[in-house]
Amino acid sequence: MRKTLAVLYTVLALGANPALAEDPAALREGDMKKLALHEAPVALPEAALVTLDDAPASLAEYRGKWVVLNFWATWCAPCRAEMPSLDRLQAALPDLAVVPVATGRNEPAAITRFYEEAGIANLPVLRDPKSGLSRQMGIMALPVTVILNPEGQEVARLIGDAEWDSASAQAVLSALMAGP
């Protein structure tokens, strides 16, 4: 009995040790179970994006930071539903760059109106009006969220909407940012 308790104590102690529990895959709960972690990073294609006022923009501006890259559209109900959680995630993890990209036909006025109505205050506005980036990345439906490492490579992908400010999402992202 004493030996069994010692083994049980050891297992529980190891499981409770934060240094040993930093495996992002092990932290996935709820919506984060949909997050597919890649075995090896995937290079991102180069694509021209634009800001709300049609100024050129690039994901290269975010190199050196972990990025939560969210493909969305103003007409997509699940996209609209998850956007406030992305905004709260950005506020909760300021060392992370949460970057929504409006894909396809999204009128700048409609984006501005949606940001105002939803109270989105912490997120930039990038547009992929001809769906060049989303097409090259194989985005077939919306929303899709891709996690990029500081080198700008895709390390994970979640298809569908999620509560990005959930404890599980924050734990997974924090573990990724902390590295191996």
- Its pTM stands at 0.85
- Domain assignment present for 17: no
The string of pLDDT tens digits covering residues 123-132 is 999 999 999 9
Asked whether the beta carbons of 22 and 130 are under 8 A apart, the reply is: no
- Domain assignment present for 94: yes
The string of pLDDT tens digits covering residues 89-144 is 999 999 999 999 999 999 999 999 999 999 999 999 999 999 999 999 999 999 99
- Domain assignment present for 117: yes
Check residue 22 and give its pLDDT.
Answer: 63
- Domain assignment present for 122: yes
- Domain assignment present for 157: yes
The string of pLDDT tens digits covering residues 26-48 is 667 778 899 999 999 999 998 88
CATH code at position 167 = 3.40.30.10
- Domain assignment present for 21: no
Q: How many domains does the chain have?
A: 1
Report how far residue 96's alpha carbon sits from residue 173's, in angstroms, rounded to the nearest whole number: 9
Among 175, 149, 28, smallest CA distance to 97 is for 149
Domain that includes residue 152, residue range = 27-178
- Domain assignment present for 82: yes
- Domain assignment present for 14: no
Among 159, 149, 142, 139, smallest CA distance to 24 is for 149
